[in-house]
Amino acid sequence: MEGPSGQAGSVLSGDPIAGSAVYPLGSRVNAAGHLEVAGCDLVELAEEHGTPAYVYAEDDLRARARAYRDAFESRGADYAVVYASKAFPCTAAYRLFAEEGLSVDVASGGELHMALRAGFDPARIVMHGNNKTDEEILAAARAGIGLLVLDSFDEIERCERLLEEPRPVLIRVTPGIKPSTHDYITTGQLDSKFGFGLADGLAARAVERVLGSDVLELVGLHAHIGSQIFELEPYRLAIRALGEIAGEWCRVVDVGGGLGVAYGEEDEPPSIDAYVDVKVRGVAEVFGPGVRIMVEPGRSLVANAGVTIYRVGTVKEVPGIRTYVAVDGGMSDNLRPMLYGSRYEAVLADRAAEDPETLVTIAGMHCESGDVLVRDALLADPAVGDVVVTPATGAYGHAMASNYNGVLRPPVIFCRDGHSRVVVRRETYEDLTGRDV
Ligand SMILES: Cc1ncc(COP(=O)(O)O)c(C=O)c1O
């Protein structure tokens, strides 16, 4: 396996998958004409583990974590790469990123619990959330987490009431930068439920307030300006904006996540190296030496490392309008198309070498007309029983999965060198009634 910019070779000349930035590293069409991820034939995986299932290339996850670390190391920066675990929260992922030397961002008591259970060093945990409960704040303090990120004046008061010992904190700032991404995933603009605004003076007031606190030790600032961002300039602007309220006390600058990924072949996000470069330079320019830079990547660590496999159950032609290919999952395993209008690609794993010439709509099995995974997909004449693969589903798929329509949430399967292992099992019908009293 090569680094994030390289791919394993293919047995086919003109293999459309090998070398694609959309698929996990090492994906290819194998000699059987099947799609293969990390040496595992996806048709065989579908037989063995059933569908739908989330399939990840373990080496891909590790390579991206290393790419982040290498980018900082090569620039001699004092840094922490903080995995934004909301993107893909499961024990195996927490454990893998802990092994790769990353820190972790948790945004709830549940994520905190999972990170600790997976063995994360509490000192490497950063806790977010715009409405942390008393219990969550106390659990974080008792665990001895590294940093708490303050999000509101109510929370400052709550922490002062609850905390018995001084704790290092960051203040989350909304710097008023609005990158050109989907409005729903833009969080750094002034009209936001997150953090303290800069332009309205609330961030400066929060700094003053926390500097006067006995139990909250202000060590730095945080800004996350949005997600799936393809431009680098907004980060530079956000860092400059943070500089407006920083003082001697500012030893840590956490510049959030946000790096976009390729959901389709036409998407060309900046590299991890270019993203880190702009942040390292920006922090050095504005804050000078000796300040620790933190980044919080979620999507860019996990999205392209994962694919989802489904089985086709029906193919229904609505004459003159469209052909619906219905699969055995949908909005319960990938909510993003319905939530954000996100686009995905699709391919048939069992006929991956054939020309995809049939225009179809890939629909889920839920009782919603909007339950459409891919509106216009070109597939190789799909039929009942085919295995459909949607790539780039490694982020916010498993994380946002639900039991809508009594559907069982899919397993998560890690693949490496031709071997697969289940790291999250498929739910059972018993699980569905397990909480009912
Ligand atoms: C505070 C914070 N940090 C990091 C992230 C991760 O962002 P991304 O997945 O775009 O890297 C998010 C995502 O919403 C976030 O809210």
In whole angstroms, how far apart are CA 90 and each of 14, 112, 144, 275? 36, 11, 21, 26
pLDDT for 7 equals 43
Which CATH architecture group holds 59-302?
A: Alpha-Beta Barrel (3.20)
Q: How far is the CA of 182 from the centre of ligand 1 (A)?
A: 14
Asked if the domains 28-57+303-433 and 59-302 are classified in one and the same CATH topology, the answer is no
Round the average pLDDT of the chain to a whole number and report it. 94
To which CATH superfamily is domain 28-57+303-433 assigned? Lyase, Ornithine Decarboxylase; Chain A, domain 1 (2.40.37.10)
Between β-strands 358-363 and 412-416, what pairing exists: parallel, antiparallel or unpaired? unpaired
What strands, in cross-sheet order, belong to the sheet with 40-41? 28-29, 35-37, 40-41
pLDDT for 362 equals 98
Q: How far is the CA of 297 from the centre of ligand 1 (A)?
A: 6
Q: Which two tokens stand for residue 396?
A: 């916010």
Report whether residue 173 contacts ligand 1, using a CB cutoff of 6 Å: no
User: Residue 185: is its pLDDT beyond 80?
Assistant: no
User: Residue 333: is its pLDDT beyond 50?
Assistant: yes
The sign of the torsion formed by the CA atoms of 405, 309, 350, 338 equals positive
Nearest atom within ligand 1 for CA of residue 395: 9
CB-CB neighbours of 274 under 10 Å: 13
Give residue-wise pLDDT tens across range 136-170: 999 999 999 999 999 999 999 999 999 999 999 99
Q: In sequence order, what are the residues at sequence separation of 6 or more whose Cβ sits closer than 8 angstroms to the Cβ of residue 129?
A: 107, 108, 136, 149, 151
Residues 243, 287: contact at Cβ < 8 Å? yes
Is this structure's pTM higher than 0.85? yes
Q: How far is the CA of 259 from the centre of ligand 1 (A)?
A: 9
Q: In sequence order, what are the residues at sequence separation of 6 or more whose Cβ sits closer than 8 angstroms to the Cβ of residue 395?
A: 87, 88, 261, 298, 299, 301, 302, 303, 306
410: confidence class by pLDDT, cuts 50, 70, 90: very high
Closest C-alpha residue for ligand 1 atom 5? 257
- Give domain limits for the chain: 28-57+303-433, 59-302
Give residue-wise pLDDT tens across range 242-297: 999 999 999 999 999 999 999 999 999 999 999 999 999 999 999 999 999 999 99
